Structure 1
Amino acid sequence: MKKIALLLTAFISLTALQSCTIEEYYDENYNEGYSQVFELPNETLSTQEDAYTYSATWNFTKPIYNSDNVLLYRWQGNSWTLVPVSYNLGGNDLVKYDYDFTRYDVKVYFSANFPVAELSSAEYNEFVYRQTFRVVVVPGGFQQKMNFSDYNATISALGLENAPIKTMTLKK
């Protein structure tokens, strides 16, 4: 009798699990309409977080979805470089860029392993003053596996080759 009850319980449990469904909504135009590129042109990372870190924050024109991801690229004079990125200035001196984002904004950090005030004028101009960044919003529904370090390939995969590049406002 115990075996029959056990089999009956297992059968009912399996039947109950089979009847559960998960409905997923996928809008085929999601990537086309929501992937976006923003430019942060010629801005100085002027907010001093501490002696070793400067930053700047830009607001999105409208909040992005919670499921979206953000990629940040820095213009290096002839190409876009994916951030985070580090540079060796010689000896033990290193500087790097990093960022974080929320649904509402993107914050870019420039930091060094020495006080930023000790940068030479040329280094300050190269790394802190009038920097240009691009923010690429990647929809949460984007399923293609790829190496995002190539800006042009990323833009192509997202279908943004001819999309207008919007600007973001610097948060004061």
Structure 2
Amino acid sequence: MKKITLLLAAFIGLTALQSCTIEEYYDENYVDGYSQVFELTNETISTQEDAYTYSATWNFTTAIFDSDNVLVYRWQGNSWTLVPVSYNLGGNDMVKYDYDFTRFDVKVYFSANFPVNELSNAEYNEFVYRQTFRVVVVPGGFAQKINYNDYNATISALGLENAPIKTLKLKK
């Protein structure tokens, strides 16, 4: 009798502990409806996380799918550079950009291995003040191999060469 009760309790416990899943369906061959490009122009990365890190957060206009991925590129005057990226300022001084994202927003971080307020005016203007980024949403079902380091190749593979580039609002 104890064995039956134990087996019944184990079965009920396993059944109760099953997680719910939410499935998102979209046609993997239909890229244009899900791939998007956003531009963040003349933005100052001004939210101080700590002495070494500043950030800025932008809300997506509509939530992206859980399965989607996000790429962030930084404009360097003549080309787009994939983030994360680091820059050597000389000596042991380094600065870098990184990012994270949720379904609802994307956050770009600027950090240094020294207090950010010790940047020279020229360094501040080059790395923090009036930055331009492009955010590319890549569908989770997109399986084509791409050199994501090359912004133009990424946009071309996603079929976004003529797509409108949308803007995002800075989260306050």
Identity %: 87
> Match of 2:32, SS?
helix
Residue 32 of structure 1 corresponds to: 32
Residue 67 of structure 1 corresponds to: 67
Taking only aligned residues, the RMSD between alpha carbons, in angstroms, comes to 1.3
> Match of 2:67, SS?
coil
- Structure 1: which 5+ runs fail to align? 1-23
Residue 19 of structure 2 corresponds to: none
Contact 2:28 2:142 in 1 (8 A): no
TM-score (norm: length of structure 2): 0.84
Contact 1:70 1:137 in 2 (8 A): yes
Residue 145 of structure 1 corresponds to: 145
Q: Summarize deviations over 1:91-130 as a string: whole Å, max 9, x none.
A: 0000000000000000000000000000000000000000
Residue 114 of structure 2 corresponds to: 114
Once residues 98 and 32 of structure 1 are traced to their aligned partners in structure 2, the CA distance between those partners, rounded to angstroms, is 27
Once residues 38 and 93 of structure 1 are traced to their aligned partners in structure 2, the CA distance between those partners, rounded to angstroms, is 31
Tell me how many residue pairs correspond in the alignment. Answer: 149
Once residues 155 and 79 of structure 2 are traced to their aligned partners in structure 1, the CA distance between those partners, rounded to angstroms, is 14
Q: State the Cα distance separating 1:28 from its structure 2 match.
A: 4.8
> Match of 1:34, SS?
coil
Between Structure 1 and Structure 2, which shows a larger proportion of helix residues?
A: 1
For 1:126, the aligned partner's letter is E
Q: State the Cα distance separating 1:29 from its structure 2 match.
A: 5.0
Contact 1:49 1:55 in 2 (8 A): yes
Q: State the Cα distance separating 1:30 from its structure 2 match.
A: 2.9
Q: 1:123 to 1:156 in 2, by over 3 A?
A: same
For 2:38, the aligned partner's letter is F
Contact 1:30 1:141 in 2 (8 A): no
Residue 127 of structure 1 corresponds to: 127
> Match of 1:124, SS?
helix
Contact 1:38 1:165 in 2 (8 A): yes
Once residues 107 and 113 of structure 1 are traced to their aligned partners in structure 2, the CA distance between those partners, rounded to angstroms, is 20
Residue 12 of structure 1 corresponds to: none
Q: Please identify the structure whose Cα radius of gyration is greater.
A: 1
Once residues 147 and 57 of structure 2 are traced to their aligned partners in structure 1, the CA distance between those partners, rounded to angstroms, is 26
TM-score (norm: length of structure 1): 0.84
